[in-house]
Structure 1
């Protein structure tokens, strides 16, 4: 039996934390290891409790979710941060993604969306709400190149030079927001084979996760604006 996903809840409103706790603790593979009401407490509790996933509000007094995300990801690269926001066009949430968050979810998401997002970021897939994905890409289009995170090979004339043809296909599929199962169906591959390709793409590009791939693809002009 695999270990449960350890989640730290971070929100300055206790009722919000209670709601998320009730939803997530009902799942057999998720356990809430702690709660924090601001960024400073989130940073301290991450160091003490070693969560797998931090469910992070971004608009908080004191140290906000952006600064907390940046510090947590830098100090604990194995920890995944899933950002929660009230608005899909939220500069704070975009800032948290740039700071290293692996997912962006709206607070009005359905129960199963929240649970699926926690599981997705835990396994390294990343998660973006459908509305937020379009908003994020539109936002990136207005940013200078150095405003989004780079990766190995970003300055090369062909940033995908180290990828095989199949890995290039997988890269573009990830950039389109396709899941492993959708990629597998599209290329007539098994999901385990796709997972292997995804891992190699991430490693070769020095990318943190699938969300980072989306950002890089847009930065390098390799994402389909449609």
Structure 2
């Protein structure tokens, strides 16, 4: 039995999906939620590092168990073959090295994935912090604009009231001026009538005097 037959018959194929705990189940939801809290940044960082190390250790332990299980299966088959009298070569150590290197590579890939996920988590954490700061600045700016709008509205109301008072004052002054002009016109009419009457009286007296003087001239 060579190494290729051993891998094909007794070991887990490379394309076979091995059930392993997902990252979501390994990291508690409380830890994920704590990423949002900016006040516990240092504690979150340490907790994530501890959880990452624990995940790596568990993955390595799991792969060691799988390797040992497969090796035990292979040895069991070798013992059965010896008992049946079939001559086989000594168990090659190279197969174990291949298995170990394979699973070590898998562990390295998992570790790289975890590092990538952790870096993305920190990226989004800082992104959320920036968004929170921007939201606070926008809120402050909105409050400032609201206060400015209130002041402008109050100023506009005051100007409207002042304009209304000025309009009413001008209307009253115009009305008084019209009344004064009407009184002046009435007085002028009376004076004109009195002057005309005086002229008529004066003209009548003059005519009488002239008529009385005519016989004397003859």
| Fold equivalence (TM over 0.5) | no
Query: Which structure has more strand as a fraction of its residues?
Result: 1
- Return the index of the structure with the highest Cα Rg: 2
TM-score tier after normalising by the smaller chain length: under 0.3
TM-score, normalised by the number of residues in structure 1: 0.16
Q: Which has the higher helix share?
A: 2
TM-score by length of 2: 0.17
